[in-house]
Chain A
Amino acid sequence: MHHGEYKTVGGKLVIADFRIRDDRLCDVSVSGDFFLEPAEALENINQSLEGLPATASQEAFAAAILRALSPDVEMIGFSPEAVAIAVRRGIDES
């Protein structure tokens, strides 16, 4: 199990838990003390990371998350970049 954390400038903690199988992310679960509207968008964030190569850059993770979110989704206290940093740390530090 890989686990990465990133504390945003505003103080919110973003956590990414996932596995790496065949060099790709799977069973991704993003969590933390942030706010997200609508709440169901969390599943879109998790899904957007599923299957991405573990060698991908932080920017690529952030772009994938951004692509998966419809324009009416509001991330409050965190961002696609914050999630991407947590994921990258989970890959690099495990």
Chain B
Amino acid sequence: MTKKRADWRDYDWRLIRGEPVPVEMNHALDEVLVRRVGSGERQPTLRFWDRQGPEIVLGRFQSVRNEVQVENTDADGIAVNRRITGGGAMFVEPENAVTYSIYAPPELVKGMGFADSYAFLDEWVIEGLRSLGIDAWYEPINDITSSGGKIGGAAQARRHGAVLHHVTMAYDMAPESLPRYLRIGQEKLSDKGITSANRRVGPLRLQTRMERLDIIEHLINTFRERHGLRDGQLHPDEIAEAEELVRTRFATDEWKFLLP
């Protein structure tokens, strides 16, 4: 008998409200938590991120040379990180972005194509944004957009027997300094969502006039009502494991310059 596709309500979802951590730590936590959900050591989890500083984040398959003005990020002390999912480069400042990760069992998206699974895993966010008065919709493969402009982008990786799905949304306009760090022409800017100072981006602050933390609270409540969600936290051994991964992998040049 083949296992049928699971429903959100088949799981005991846990929430992690992330403390501000060093920027590499968020990427290491994605690796640790997706592995633990895959092995069954942790319940399926929704984690909201916070950061201690700004960062450039490259997709897993992007080359540093092609995307980043390293002489400028070096000069200004901006961290350049590589995440474990594909997708495009972003310049993220802690107060300008809303980022979350979903760590889900693969049965939740069983039989779905990749494009469908992106939209499926973010249905709750679309609902949450709409109830704030934003006419948000999913633009395949991985964009969350609205008539007020692009809001954010998602990225997925299937690893260690689980699905990692994370999303970064623009809370505020990207700073003028963006073109100083990322190698993107004006035309490509419009495609870069969070990174873009282009008017085709529709940041959440502009569209709701709400505080960033209030928006996050609203989204958490939407998830809770729709799928069920219990408050949880990072376990000390998860934190220790992620810190070790920062040291051995995520903060190393070998990883950051994996594609030079």
Contact = CB atoms under 8 A, between A and B. Distances in A.
Interface of A: 10-11, 13, 15, 17, 29-39, 42, 74, 76-77
A74 B86 CA distance: 12
Nearest to B139: A11
Contacts of A31: 61-63, 66, 259
A34 to B, nearest CB: 6
A39 B160 CA distance: 12
A49 to B, nearest CB: 15
Given A31-B259, A33-B86, A17 B61 contact: no
Contacts of B174: none
Contacts of A32: 61-62
B114 A35 contact: yes
Interface in B102-127: 114-115
Contact of B63 (A11, A17, A34, A35): A17
A42 B61 CA distance: 8
Interface stretch (B39-47, B150-158, B199-207, B232-240): B150-158
A86 to B, nearest CB: 12
Given A31-B259, A33-B59, A76 B66 contact: no
7 contacts: A15-B63, A31-B66, A32-B62, A33-B61, A33-B89, A36-B86, A37-B157
Contacts of A17: 63, 66
A11 to B, nearest CB: 6
Interface in B125-177: 140-142, 155-158
Q: For chain B, give the interface size range.
A: 20 to 34
Which 9 pairs across A and B sit closest by C-beta, in order of nearness? A33-B88, A35-B86, A31-B63, A76-B114, A31-B259, A33-B59, A33-B87, A31-B62, A15-B66
A60 B54 CA distance: 44
B60 interface: yes
Given A13-B188, A77-B142, 12 more contacts: A17-B66, A29-B63, A31-B61, A32-B62, A33-B87, A34-B61, A34-B86, A35-B114, A36-B60, A74-B114, A77-B86, A77-B141
A15 B115 CA distance: 22
B61 A36 contact: yes
A35 B259 contact: no
A90 B223 CA distance: 46
A4 B184 CA distance: 15
Contact of B87 (A10, A35, A39, A74): A35
A37 B188 CA distance: 25
Nearest to B114: A76
Contacts of A77: 86, 141-142
B95 interface: no
Interface in B57-84: 59-63, 66, 84
Contacts of A39: 60-61, 84, 86, 157
Contacts of B66: 15, 17, 31
B71 to A, nearest CB: 18
B241 interface: no
A85 B47 CA distance: 39
